């Protein structure tokens, strides 16, 4: 199993999500149809989100913080300047760039994110886009996170998705969708580690004539790993079902991402404890699974910088009801709540 392959596919969906949910009919026809009709798999889309200065501060109300990529309106065009990194799929195939970028940018550097954070669709063949360095990561080796530079990139005004200042709800919705699916990736890595060490424990007799699975400490550790896997599997299923039914499910999706990502790290590490020090050798299957698992709490909105802050905001939002998920009801967001920083991204910055 190589988790980088589905990550590449997931990144395509993340990049197209703003257009699917907030694009005009003309934008959907122009930008989505090529992907719908692509039978070769050659088209890659990139959600160019994280600025070099950071990503967790994207929603800052302070004009001097947050996203620094800037789209200046000149007549009927936006002129974009900025640098993005960890831009999954941003290099495209053979460093020729992605087919499409959905870019988070400020449209007014004198105003904070609530008023100026915006999302713009940028075709990959637009002059001024350049692929920079490729990050050399510990894991997820078959997915590429490059630096992408935008230098006087000019696109038509109608490429703006939604309106200026709509960035926070558009971005939050997109990362809510991926949050639920990250749970599936976590389950896959946990399962691979568990099945490997389970086979090892059934055969290894280093503690005597009995396979080590018959020893209580090994059996209990394996039981703990399996419980984590099933808890994360069912939480992921529930989050995806809730999103399908209601179209919005930030709370359960974010909980899925946070809980499953942290359980994945612990589960792989516990599998390594059963295996012993040889699992720490470079390119051992468990060593590779650990490298893949370590990024789950850090990427797609870090659990500390973004995700727990989002949950804090949901819990403190007016009208919050703790039984909505359990009873499979839709949260009654008002228009005002849907646009508020507290409800969508958290009560305070961190």
pLDDT digits (tens, 9 = 90+) for 266-283: 999 999 999 999 999 998
DSSP 3-state of 71: strand
Q: Give the closest residue to 256 by CA, choosing from 235, 271, 275.
A: 235
CA 211 – CA 101 distance, rounded (Å): 53
Calculate helix-pair angle for 167-203, 4-22, nearest 10 degrees. Answer: 160
Mean pLDDT on 113-118: 93
> At 122, is the secondary structure helix, strand, or coil?
strand
Give yes or no for residue 347 having a pLDDT over 80. Answer: no
Q: How many residues belong to the chain?
A: 350
Active site residue 224: no
Fold of the domain built from segment(s) 4-164: Butyryl-CoA Dehydrogenase, subunit A; domain 2 (2.40.110)
Averaged pLDDT for residues 217-231: 97
Q: What is the DSSP letter of 50?
A: -
> Under a CB-based contact definition with an 8 Å cutoff, are residues 163 and 29 in contact?
no
- Higher per-residue pLDDT: 8 or 237: 237
Task: Tell me the average pLDDT across 321-327.
Answer: 91
CATH topology of domain 169-345: Butyryl-CoA Dehydrogenase, subunit A; domain 3 (1.20.140)
Task: Examine the pLDDT at 334 and tell me if it is beyond 90.
Answer: no
User: Alpha-carbon distance 34 to 241, whole Å?
Assistant: 28
pLDDT at 317: 87
pTM higher than the cut 0.85: yes
Per-residue pLDDT band for 168 (boundaries 50, 70, 90) equals very high
> Mean pLDDT for the chain?
90
The predicted structure's pLDDT at residue 266: 98
Query: How is the chain split into domains, by residue range?
Result: 4-164, 169-345
What's the confidence (pLDDT) of residue 339?
42
* Overall average pLDDT of the 49-66 stretch: 86
Average pLDDT over residues 190-197: 97
Answer for the pair 60, 113: CB distance below 8 angstroms, yes or no. Answer: yes
Of the ranges 168-177, 180-189, 288-297, 325-334, which one carries the lowest mean pLDDT score?
325-334
The lowest-confidence range among 46-60, 270-284, 320-334 is 320-334
Contact call for residues 284 and 272 (beta carbons, < 8 A): no
> b/e per residue, 111-129, with b = 16+ CB within 10 A?
ebbbbbbbbbbbbbebeeb
Which of 115, 199, 300, 321 is labelled catalytic? 300
Rounded to an integer, what distance in angstroms lies between the CA atom of residue 301 and that of residue 258? 10
Say if CB 116 and CB 164 are below 8 A apart. yes
- For residue 237, give Cα distances in angstroms to 13, 99, 186, 221, 241: 18, 31, 13, 25, 6
Query: Among all chains, which residue has been given the structure tokens 């969508």?
Result: 344
Residue-wise pLDDT tens digits, 195-210: 999 999 999 887 778 8
pLDDT class for 259, splitting at 50, 70, 90?
very high
Query: In this predicted model, which residue has the larger pLDDT, 64 or 159?
Result: 159
What pLDDT is attached to residue 332? 65
């Amino acid at each position: 199993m190589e988790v980088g392959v589905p990550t590449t596919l997931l990144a395509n969906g993340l990049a197209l999500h703003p257009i699917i949910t907030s694009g005009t009919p003309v934008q959907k026809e122009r930008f989505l149809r090529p992907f719908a009709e692509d039978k070769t798999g050659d088209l890659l889309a990139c959600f160019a989100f994280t600025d070099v200065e950071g990503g967790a501060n994207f929603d800052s109300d302070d004009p001097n913080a947050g996203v620094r990529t800037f789209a200046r309106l000149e007549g009927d065009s936006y002129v974009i300047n900025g640098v993005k990194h960890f831009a999954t799929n941003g290099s495209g195939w053979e460093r020729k760039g992605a087919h499409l970028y959905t870019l988070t940018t400020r449209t007014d550097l004198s105003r904070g994110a609530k008023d100026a954070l915006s999302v713009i669709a940028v075709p990959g063949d637009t002059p001024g886009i350049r692929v920079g360095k490729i990050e050399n990561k510990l894991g997820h080796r078959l997915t590429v996170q490059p630096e992408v530079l935008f230098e006087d990139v000019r696109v038509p005004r109608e490429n703006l998705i939604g309106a200026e200042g709509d960035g926070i709800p558009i971005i939050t919705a997109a990362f809510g969708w991926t949050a639920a699916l990250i749970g599936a990736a976590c389950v896959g890595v946990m399962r691979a580690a568990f099945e490997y060490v389970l086979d090892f424990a059934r055969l290894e007799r280093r503690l005597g004539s009995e396979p080590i699975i018959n020893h209580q400490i090994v059996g209990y550790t394996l039981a703990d790993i399996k419980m984590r896997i099933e808890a994360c599997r069912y939480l992921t299923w529930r989050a995806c079902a809730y999103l399908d039914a209601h179209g919005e499910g930030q709370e359960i999706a974010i909980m899925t991402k946070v809980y499953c990502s942290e359980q994945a790290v612990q589960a792989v590490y516990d599998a390594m404890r059963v295996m012993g020090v040889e699992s720490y050798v470079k390119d051992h299957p468990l060593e590779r699974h650990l490298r893949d698992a370590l990024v789950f709490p850090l990427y797609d909105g870090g659990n500390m910088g973004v995700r727990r802050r989002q949950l804090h905001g949901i819990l403190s939002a007016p009208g919050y009801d703790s039984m909505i998920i359990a009873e499979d009801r839709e949260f009654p967001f008002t228009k005002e709540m849907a646009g508020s920083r507290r409800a969508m991204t958290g009560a305070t910055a961190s």
